[in-house]
């Protein structure tokens, strides 16, 4: 106790010396009392209060055993920043002030009010106030610890600190990034129940200052409110003050980072509808590039968010854009399948027509060569046996395929004027005899032409699919954007 008295005297003496230095002019005030005399009187009064251990005990609250002491709180906000969706918290810097009345510290009103060094707070009773949703806090200490003690003659004490705290803020991200969040700062007494202490906002709704000057990069402070309530625990009922901030997210960053690139990629995927269906490498490369780019955008969006199970607003947009890009790639697969199926059917019909002819001449083969290109011939030579097709038809089809790839046979020159007799393949003669014996019965059993599956019978040209896609894809995407933006923006600004 003796060491505490000496330390208090040294603190008061240092403070008095500084004030005396800046008030060296002995101006007469308050009935002829000079500033130096006033400081000496305040020093004596504080020494009498704090040095008298019988009247003041730092371990006991004011009015111990009597009614609860009232603690008034006011906050001046310096900044709000570092709002993190991944960690579900935010950082706030503020000037935190507490007001209470301790009659044991009252002195003569003629001495007026006095501000003292913050180190004096270690030698008087102060409330055990803490932040309930605090993750990490500290009191600034540059150049000295940022604390302030102010005494009033009636025993009222104002204790202020400059604090930065990281507070938890549980966020609802269903409408992300067109969402609003309510982040709170919970203030409570750690050890005193409502029987010993009570909290209130010192200036009512005006206890929070500095709100209009707050600027945040990603959010806008729409509104705030203060609440006073009682919280029940197993150890008793505790008073609590709540400061709630209503924060609205700014969507500009996400439009440039996610929405606009997604829209441009979807539009880029539609370019393939105007590219010739025979340019396979160009259309496939364009489709795969847009799909992979959309995958990258989707991954970057998820990396900046916590691993939550529910679907967010931005997820819906990215998934739909991904579906449009993927559908454009599938559309070309459908066009390509329809094109080659149609060419295959034409080639098979040409084979059957050649097999039914009584004579097969080189000139007739040359005419068919003009109807099909080399790629069709290669496909034709690789086609397997068609169900219900005679082996002779298969032989004729293979021969036509080889003729289409190799071209017409060169004419043979003979030294003899007499032309060589016409030779027929054995399979052709057998097939001819079979036709003569069966007559019209074989004609009735001829396999019917198969239709191309998965496509309506009205589509006669593959370009029709591209023409439909040119109208269908943009129309559906425009309708989706109208519904999406109208629904979410209405919810955001209506609430």
pLDDT digits (tens, 9 = 90+) for 319-359: 999 999 999 999 888 887 777 676 666 677 777 777 776 44
Q: What is the pLDDT of residue 56?
A: 77
Whether the model clears a pTM of 0.85, i.e. scores above it, the answer is no
Q: What is the pLDDT of residue 94?
A: 96
Q: What is the pLDDT of residue 321?
A: 95
Cα-flanking dihedrals φ and ψ of residue 17, to 5°?
-65, -40
pLDDT digits (tens, 9 = 90+) for 447-486: 555 554 444 444 556 678 888 889 999 999 999 999 999 9
Q: Which two tokens mark 383?
A: 């086609």
Q: What is the pLDDT of residue 344?
A: 66
Q: What is the pLDDT of residue 95?
A: 96
pLDDT digits (tens, 9 = 90+) for 356-384: 764 445 544 454 444 445 555 555 555 44
pLDDT digits (tens, 9 = 90+) for 9-55: 454 444 444 344 334 433 444 445 566 776 676 676 666 666 655 56
Q: Which region holds residue 475: left if phi is over 0, alpha if psi is between -120 and 50, else beta?
A: alpha
Q: Which two tokens mark 90?
A: 């935010």
Q: How many CB atoms lie within 10 A of CB 18?
A: 11
Q: Which region holds residue 220: left if phi is over 0, alpha if psi is between -120 and 50, else beta?
A: beta
Q: Torsion angle, CA of 199/204/207/211, rounded to 10 degrees?
A: 130
C-alpha distance from residue 406 to each of 371, 378, 403 (Å)? 15, 10, 5
Mean pLDDT (the chain) is 77
pLDDT digits (tens, 9 = 90+) for 181-233: 999 999 999 999 999 999 999 999 899 999 988 989 889 999 999 999 999 99
Give the Cα separation of 279 and 174 in Å (integer): 43
Q: Are 266 and 324 in contact (CB under 8 A)?
A: yes
SS (H, E, C) 194-205: CCCEEEEECCHH
- Residue 252, pLDDT > 50, answer yes
Q: How far apart are the first and last CA of the chain?
A: 60
Percent helix, strand and coil across the chain, each rounded to 5? Answer: 45, 20, 30
Q: Which two tokens mark 32?
A: 């002829």
pLDDT digits (tens, 9 = 90+) for 108-118: 787 778 888 88
Q: What is the pLDDT of residue 302?
A: 87
pLDDT digits (tens, 9 = 90+) for 69-91: 999 999 999 999 889 999 999 99
Q: Which region holds residue 439: left if phi is over 0, alpha if psi is between -120 and 50, else beta?
A: left
Give the Cα separation of 20 and 407 in Å (integer): 116
- Residue 436, pLDDT > 80, answer no
């Amino acid at each position: 106790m003796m060491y505490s008295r000496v330390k208090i005297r040294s603190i008061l003496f240092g403070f008095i010396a500084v004030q005396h230095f800046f008030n060296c002019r002995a101006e007469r005030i308050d009935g002829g009392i000079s500033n130096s005399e006033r400081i000496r009187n305040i020093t004596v009064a504080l020494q009498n209060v704090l040095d008298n251990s019988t009247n003041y005990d730092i371990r006991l609250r004011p009015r111990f055993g009597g009614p609860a002491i009232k603690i008034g709180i006011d906050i001046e906000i310096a900044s709000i920043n570092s709002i993190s969706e991944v960690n579900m918290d935010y950082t706030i810097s503020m000037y935190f002030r507490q007001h209470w009345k301790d009659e044991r510290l009252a002195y003569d009103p003629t001495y007026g009010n006095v501000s003292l060094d913050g180190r004096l707070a270690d030698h008087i009773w102060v409330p055990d106030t803490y932040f309930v949703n605090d993750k990490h806090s500290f009191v600034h200490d540059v150049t000295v610890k940022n604390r302030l003690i102010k005494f009033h003659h009636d025993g009222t004490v104002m204790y202020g600190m400059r604090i930065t705290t990281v507070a938890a803020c549980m966020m609802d991200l269903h409408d992300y990034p067109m969402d609003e969040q309510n982040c709170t700062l919970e203030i409570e007494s750690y050890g005193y129940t409502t029987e010993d202490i009570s909290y209130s906002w010192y200036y009512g709704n005006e206890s929070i200052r500095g709100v209009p000057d707050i600027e945040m990069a990603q959010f806008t402070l729409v509104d705030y409110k203060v609440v006073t309530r009682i919280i029940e625990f197993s150890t008793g009922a505790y008073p609590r003050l709540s400061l709630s901030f209503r924060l609205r997210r700014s969507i500009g960053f996400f439009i440039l980072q996610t929405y606009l690139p997604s829209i441009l990629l979807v539009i880029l995927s539609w370019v393939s509808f105007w590219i010739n269906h025979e340019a396979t490498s160009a259309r496939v490369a364009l489709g795969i590039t847009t799909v992979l780019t959309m995958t990258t955008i989707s991954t970057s969006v998820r990396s900046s968010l916590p691993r939550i199970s529910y679907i967010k607003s931005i997820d819906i947009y990215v998934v739909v854009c991904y579906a449009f890009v993927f559908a454009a790639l599938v559309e070309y697969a459908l066009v390509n399948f329809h094109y080659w199926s149609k060419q295959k059917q034409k080639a098979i019909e040409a084979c059957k027509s050649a097999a039914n002819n009584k004579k097969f001449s080189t000139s007739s083969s040359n005419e068919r060569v003009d109807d099909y290109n080399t790629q069709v011939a290669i496909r034709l030579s690789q086609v397997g046996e068609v169900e219900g097709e005679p082996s002779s038809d298969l032989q004729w089809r293979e021969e036509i395929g080889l003729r289409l790839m190799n071209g017409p046979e060169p004419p043979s020159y003979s030294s003899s004027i007499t032309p060589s007799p016409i030779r027929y393949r054995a399979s052709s003669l057998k097939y001819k005899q079979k036709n003569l014996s069966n007559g019209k019965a074989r004609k009735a059993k001829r396999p019917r032409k198969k239709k191309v599956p998965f496509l309506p019978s009205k589509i006669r040209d593959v370009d029709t699919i591209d023409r439909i896609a040119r109208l269908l894809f943009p129309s559906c995407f425009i309708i989706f954007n109208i519904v999406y933006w109208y629904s979410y923006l209405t919810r955001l600004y209506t609430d």
